[in-house]
Structure 1
Amino acid sequence: MLSGLKRQNIEITGKTRLLGILAHPTEHVKAPPEINRIARLRGADAVMVPLNVAPADLEALVGGLRGVKSFDGAIVTVPHKQAIIRLCDEVSPRARAVGAANVLRRDTDGRIIGDQLDGIGFVEGLRHAGVELEGKSAYLVGAGGAANAIAFALVEAGVRCLTLANRTQAKIGALREKLIVAHGSIDVRLGSANPVGHDLVVNGTTLGMNGSDPLPLDTAMLSPGMVVAEVIMEPEITPLLEAARGIGCRIHLGRHMLEHQLQLMANFLGL
């Protein structure tokens, strides 16, 4: 979306506002250049930088950022989306329901406010690509922060039924209960690694980021006509997408979720 925009030099001054992306590791993150382009386009004197913080150090970092008066906020990604919730002073109802936040803002009084835009960005990316969700059946593998957010967003987008799959059944059982509490009588099922019978198949895990990762689902059960979607952005074509493309499925890249979150994130961060 924004990758074709002309690059502009970023000059750091004593007035520059600081934004971060909290991740571990940070080599795979894609947001900083895009947010920095948005800042330039909007005339904002702000810059986003990667902050590589291990889980054991996250609480200390957030505590320190409260006192950095030039810090306005951050995007939060793997593996911190769920842990960050308890470190925020306030979170949106959406983030509270999902149990994960992927963006935070520091108010002038030092309070940290969290929100969750993963699911909205994912659904908007599908819609922009012409993938209709209302009345369709969806299969989602994963139970982490991104998968939780996508599950809520798919239900809100009107899917007819949603099948949840994960190696740890207790986690998807808990996610199913959260969805029922939030949305009442909806068709949410617990599934296996077999995605047969679904219109949309989504990998909401990190499996595929590393070459040695196992596949997140049984690709032999995919069939032409399915839409197979990723949340992983690096590599762009994961082993799952490669297998799906070979079978004749329509594939949907992980970067589309980020592309459709960027403007929302920029707004939340005050750019």
Structure 2
Amino acid sequence: MDSSVSRSLPISGRTRLYAVLGDPVAQVRAPSLLNPLFAELGLDAVLFPVHARPDSFAEVFQGLRRTENLDGILVTIPHKAAALRLADQVSPAAAASGAVNALRREPDGRWTGENFDGVGFVSGLTAAGHLPEGKQVSVVGAGGAGSAIAAALLSAGAARVSLCDPDTAKLRTLLTRLGSYWPGRALGTGTPASADADLVVNATPLGMRADDPLPFSLADLRPECVVADVIMKPRETALLRAAAALGRPVVPGAPMLDHQLGLYRVFFGLDEATADTDSPGA
């Protein structure tokens, strides 16, 4: 898809709306991907960012879901777990991860939640030549992105996923949930278990700001250990620069979203909407 495709239709009362919610929201890439897709498909639709703080997320979400011309909601940090609790129904992948990053309005007005972070991450990792099957993985951060990535890695055959998060209650909840799907293959650690890892993933917000500390030490990493980051902006975080300088293979955060675009297209039924637009009398 050509990301330079621009919207040719004027925004009007007929325009269908999609929102992406986060805190912060300036870094989100979804509008730069989905709006060109809408234009390419000839859809009268627009995705716009909404800055919602945690203490007002539920109120903002409930208001948006009652907006009759709103067809979909994307969710980014730190709202993915809260979005799962507010959805009317969720997919097995979302239930396993305990988080939602996309919701669609059903014909009966109910909202279905899905999580594409994990499968998007695994797709990007695999496209870069790093297969998760049989690997020892350390995931730092047990929030929405980390939980989805852990679940997807286990589903893809990772031998073990070690998770580290300072919020021990949240970590225990995640480990219990993952253990019900993949017994004995997910464990919690007080510090990142990187010494014997084949892959270490930063699933925290650390790296979004220039003055952020590194989310974990690189000192114990094996030479062949892959270092991945979920941060999308900046594309090259301090963690990835430091890992590359040490000769470690790195995977940036952008492919995690890039590989979700086709999934969004199916989830939101955009091709069906295009067919409706092209049909006689539309």
Structure 1 position 213, deviation (Å)? 2.0
After TM superposition, give the deviation of residue 230 of structure 1 in Å: 0.6
RMSD of aligned Cα (Å): 1.6
Output one character per residue of 1:42-69: Cα deviation in whole Å (capped at 9) or x when no partner: 2322110111112222222222223322
Q: Measure, in 2, the Cα distance between the counterparts of 1:190 and 1:9.
A: 47
Q: Deviations over 1:133-181 (max 9, x none)?
A: 1111111111101000000000001011221122233433332221111
TM-score (norm 1): 0.93
Match of 1:208 in 2: 207
Paired residues for 1:224-235 under 5 Å: 224-235=223-234
Match of 2:139 in 1: 140
Shift of 1:10: 4.0
Q: How does 1:68-107 map to 2 (within 5 A)?
A: 68-107=67-106
Task: Give the partner amino acid of 1:37.
Answer: P
Aligned to 2:40: 41
Seen in structure 2, the aligned counterparts of structure 1 residues 242 and 92 have a Cα distance that, compared at 3 Å, is same
Kept in 2: contact 1:16–1:47 (CA 8 A): yes
Equivalent residue runs for 1:1-271 within 5 Å: 2=1, 4-11=2-9, 12-184=11-183, 186-191=184-189, 192-271=191-270
Query: 1:5, 1:168 → 2: CA distance?
Result: 38
What letter matches 1:142 in structure 2?
G
Give the secondary structure class of the aligned counterpart of 1:201. Answer: strand
- Which ranges in structure 2 are unaligned for 5 or more consecutive residues? 271-282
Tell me how far apart the structure 2 counterparts of residues 15 and 244 of structure 1 sit (CA, whole Å): 49
1:28/1:6 CA distance change after superposition, 3 Å? closer
Letter in 2 for 1:225: E
Structure 1 residue matching 2:260: 3-state secondary structure: helix
Instruction: Find the aligned partners of 2:67 and 2:170 in 1 and give their Cα distance.
Output: 36
Q: Secondary structure of 1:22's match?
A: strand
Q: 2:121 aligns to what SS in structure 1? A: helix
CA contact (8 A) 1:194 1:218 kept: no
Q: How many residue pairs end up in the alignment?
A: 268
SS in 1 for 2:104: strand
Q: Distance in 2 between matches of 1:165 and 1:55?
A: 22
Deviations 1:30-51 (A, max 9, x none): 0111001111222322110111
Change (3 A) 1:10 1:49: farther
Going from structure 1 to structure 2, the CA distance change for 1:96 and 1:194 (only over 3 Å counts) comes to closer
Other structure's SS at 1:224 match: coil
Asked whether the equivalents of residues 197 and 221 of structure 2 are also in contact (C-alpha less than 8 Å), the reply is no
Q: 1:206/1:175 Cα in 2 relative to 1: closer, same or farther (>3 Å)? A: same
Check 1:127–1:69 CA distance in 2 against 1; reply closer, same or farther (3 A cut).
Answer: same
Question: How far apart in 2 are the matches of 1:188 and 1:114?
Answer: 24
**TM-score when normalising by structure 2:** 0.89
Aligned sequence identity (%): 43
CA contact (8 A) 1:23 1:76 kept: yes
Secondary structure at 2:175 match in 1: helix
How far does the alpha carbon of each residue in 1:188-228 deviate from its partner, in whole angstroms, 9 at most, with x for none?
23232351111111111111111222211112222321110
- After superposing the two structures, state which structure 1 stretch, 86-95 or 75-84, moved more: 86-95
**Using the alignment, how far apart are the partners of 1:250 and 1:174 within structure 2?**
31
CA contact (8 A) 2:138 2:193 kept: no
